[in-house]
Structure 1
Amino acid sequence: MALILLRHTRPEGAEGLCYGRTDLPLADDFAAEAARLARDLPPFTRILTSPLGRCLRLAQALAAARARPLSIDPRLAEMDFGRWEGQRWDAIARAELDLWAADLTGARPHGGETVAELAARSRAALNAALTGPVPVLVVCHAGVIKSALAAGQGAAGWRAQPGYGSWLELGPGWQGEEGSK
């Protein structure tokens, strides 16, 4: 394996909320979850993380527990949902959600970032991570993980539902280009 993509642990108040760049506090069980991950994750040489607090705090705990170097890469941040940020998904206008669903990668009815833009920057970060010592632990968000999956699986990757505190291992042949393995 070359990359281990780890989704941050559960944030407080996230249920039903659109919170891409909104930096929610972590849930009360954070310390226990961080300890579990420090124990259970496969070996890695270094850690890259999103700058958002829900990832950075976990990355710092894992770097301390495993005595590994940590770097922040802003390209690993979650998608910018523009004016949808902080809103409940069920409060967002149905017509806007339908526009987004009709052109998932290119539409931006929220005024923020497109899925294609998220994919381009996050895949660039993951490809750059492959140029140094591997395996690399990448502490990131569901959108970044879905982007990596979509590079190999196409549209099916965007439908993935990575759980909080779950990880995905990508082999050395992974390339962050649509349709590659």
Structure 2
Amino acid sequence: MLVLVRHTQVQGVAGLCYGRFEAGLAATFADEAEAVRGALPAEIAAVYSSPAARCRALAAQLHPAPVLDDRLHELDFGQWEGRRWDDIPRAELDAWCGDFVTLAPPGGETFAALAGRASAFAEDITRRHGDAPVAAITHAGVIRALLARGLALTEAFSIDAPPGSVHLVTLAPAGAVS
């Protein structure tokens, strides 16, 4: 079983494009981390985390030795990282919104690339841990990509993954999510 956990709330990002941008934790972090802990299965074989500070902080609250895995990073928005959405040229933003699956922001990555690395992570976890519950502290993009398996990736953003949410998924052979 893979337990997908989105990092807790962050602060100072209202109106900003952020994926890999390092955002600070909200003042409610301790309470949110405790709520996540309470939502996890009693036994977790391992905890993996995105290298982002907001994920590492939560992972450290859940396990004494979380494993960092770059495949759990959020979408790389490239030149848009940390910029106000309103400051991104409208034509660039409209083009990306029209085809975010295969079109990358300038210097960034496509959602298909994110889905590929998320799938590779899930397949690796299946090989390493079998049916044992494993937590992955990550971001909405990774969670949506894994939960959208079997759907068109264009539908991924219809999946709700709020901060601090926990999503239990069963991994079939080869990392397929059910």
The TM-score normalised by the length of structure 2 is: 0.89
Task: List alignment gaps of at least 5 residues for structure 1.
Answer: none
- Return the letter of the residue paired with 2:94: D
Aligned length: 174
The DSSP-based 3-state class of the residue aligned with 2:25 is coil
Residue 103 of structure 1 deviates from its aligned partner by 1.7
Query: What is the CA–CA distance in structure 1 between the aligned matches of 2:71 and 2:29, rounded to whole Å?
Result: 24
Residue 88 of structure 1 deviates from its aligned partner by 1.7
**Which deviations, in whole Å up to 9, do the C-alpha atoms of 1:86-133 show, x marking residues without a partner?**
012232222111111222211124321111111111211122112223
Residue 153 of structure 1 corresponds to 151
Task: List alignment gaps of at least 5 residues for structure 2.
Answer: none
Residue 51 of structure 2 corresponds to 51
Query: What is the CA–CA distance in structure 2 between the aligned matches of 1:145 and 1:47, rounded to whole Å?
Result: 15
User: 1:118-157 maps to which residues of 2 (within 5 A)?
Assistant: 118-133=114-129, 134-154=132-152, 155-157=154-156
CA RMSD of aligned residues (A): 1.8
- Return the letter of the residue paired with 1:116: A
Query: What is the CA–CA distance in structure 2 between the aligned matches of 1:174 and 1:91, rounded to whole Å?
Result: 44
Q: 1:174 to 1:15 in 2, by over 3 A?
A: farther
Residue 23 of structure 2 corresponds to 24
The DSSP-based 3-state class of the residue aligned with 1:48 is strand
The DSSP-based 3-state class of the residue aligned with 2:63 is helix
- Return the letter of the residue paired with 2:6: R
Asked if the contact 1:6–1:137 (Cα under 8 Å) also holds between the matched residues in 2, the reply is yes
User: 1:9-88 maps to which residues of 2 (within 5 A)?
Assistant: 9-43=8-42, 44-64=44-64, 69-88=65-84
Query: What is the CA–CA distance in structure 2 between the aligned matches of 1:175 and 1:97, rounded to whole Å?
Result: 35
Q: After TM superposition, which residue ranges in structure 1, 4 or more long, deviate above 3 angstroms? A: 174-177
The TM-score normalised by the length of structure 1 is: 0.88
Residue 8 of structure 1 corresponds to 7
- Return the letter of the residue paired with 1:23: E
